[in-house]
Amino acid sequence: MPATVILGAQWGDEGKGKAIDQLAPQSTWAVRFQGGNNAGHTIVVGDTTLKLHQIPSGVTAKHCNLVLGDGMVIDPWVLDEELGRWEDLTGEKPDGERLFISERASVILPFHRLYDGADKVVGTTGRGIGPAYRDRIERVGIRFADIPGVLADPKRIKQTISRMNSQLKTVKVETEVSADELTADLQWILDRFGQAIRPTGLMVDLALRNGENVLLEGAQGAMLDIDQGTYPFVTSSVVGRANASHGAGIHPGHVTECFGITKAYCTRVGNGPFPTELSLEEGPGHHMAQIGHEFGTTTGRPRRTGWLDIVALKDADRTSGYSGLVVTKLDVLGGLDEIKICVGYELDGKPISYVPTLAEDLDRCVAVYETHSGFPAMSDEDWIDMAERSRTEGSGFAAMPDAVRNIVDRIEQLSGISVVCVGVGPDRRASIARKDGPFDIAWGEATF
């Protein structure tokens, strides 16, 4: 049976959590394969809003096993807080029962957060993600599997502390880390999560060989990929389809579906080029920010807003090969007189149809738009009623008004990718699936 990949197709914050939540009832495993707690997935069920940073979004399906995969860098303290909130909400303690931490995943330590906090250029979340990945590449980082060996080797503790403090000085961080602090931190991690640390790649591979369905959850978005994104204003890992199986510890032949998640407009958190960016103070950009509640799930920072960028979307498809698009937050555009879609760029007065490699070149690009008629604003309840009607009547996209469906059709035509589901509100019920498509399924009940 297959593995299905869910990926962000923009600059992150596209609504991946909701899509994963909807597919989880059809799966027995949900695996995060990269990133750390710089990601934020939000799931809304009625009056309950669940914000996840490391726990896979498949947590809402009671039967779904959860994996923090090989390719992740994990902050154990943040994970402990997340699990505490989940227990308060549901009474469940999933770690070691259905939530497992890869022994190959890297540990984010207080040192990594201190070092990351000195960044003044890229605009990172300051969560220690980049420094933890750097340690992995330099082969000096500590994986969960390494903790017992490090604790048993005072010489390695001393060497690690010396390296950490030396690096902190280079970025003018005065705080130092002590050997006692590192030892205590590692011992706490082992005591707290020892029962959940497993060879998860072997476990997921066995599940696939036994015919089970597996969801591979991406974090961030295509334009933030370390290799293919708007470097250096990117995250520290490979976020695309090619890393989904590798970061989960399985081979790519298992993957049969790959869904890209894109908003009906664009947002970006942090620094870096953004060709379709609009003002947050007035006009459509202000409308998107306010109606769409565009604040980062992880940082709370305001998201920059702009029109949908087809050039960037097609670039994301080039590197991940989406079998379908999920278009989210289409409802946010309700109330605008006109809706624009970027169909190309001009770079120094010359038309181009690709994303330049250099961030400074992309920053000089001027977006070329086509303009479409807008549609009236509707309440959340009206959108949910429309979505429910599409399911009960089996009408799919035909339940949408013509002006709304025209935007969906045009996104599909311009991108060359089939739109399989449209999000029209934050609630899990506020989605309209293409009739007989991969999201035209019974989603089941959440555990809260």
Binding residues for Mg(2+): 13, 40
Q: Give the span between the Cα atoms of 304 and 17, in whole angstroms.
A: 20
What torsion do the CA atoms of 80, 84, 90, 92 make, to the nearest 10 degrees? 50
DSSP state of 54: S
Q: Give the span between the Cα atoms of 327 and 424, in whole angstroms.
A: 9
Closest CA to 216 of 11, 338, 34, 37: 34
Q: Give the span between the Cα atoms of 362 and 345, in whole angstroms.
A: 9
Residue stretches of the annotated binding site for GTP: 12-18, 40-42, 303, 329-331, 423-425
Residue stretches of the annotated binding site: 12-18, 38-42, 125, 139, 220, 235, 297-303, 329-331, 423-425
Token couple for 397: 């996209």
Q: Give the span between the Cα atoms of 226 and 238, in whole angstroms.
A: 6
CA distance from start to end of the chain:
29
Token couple for 324: 């379908």
Q: Give the span between the Cα atoms of 172 and 96, in whole angstroms.
A: 40
Count Cα atoms within 13 angstroms, Cβ side, for 210.
Answer: 11
Cα–Cα distance list, 398 to 112, 248, 334, 384, 408 (Å): 50, 38, 18, 15, 11
Q: Which of 41, 53, 112, 287 is catalytic?
A: 41
* Cα four-point dihedral sign 34, 203, 136, 59: positive
Residue stretches of the annotated binding site for IMP: 13-16, 38-41, 125, 139, 220, 235, 301
Q: Give the span between the Cα atoms of 349 and 322, in whole angstroms.
A: 31
Q: Give the span between the Cα atoms of 444 and 24, in whole angstroms.
A: 9
Is 13 labeled as catalytic in the residue annotation? yes
Residue type, 207: A
Q: Which of 13, 185, 225, 427 is catalytic?
A: 13
Q: List active site positions.
A: 13, 41
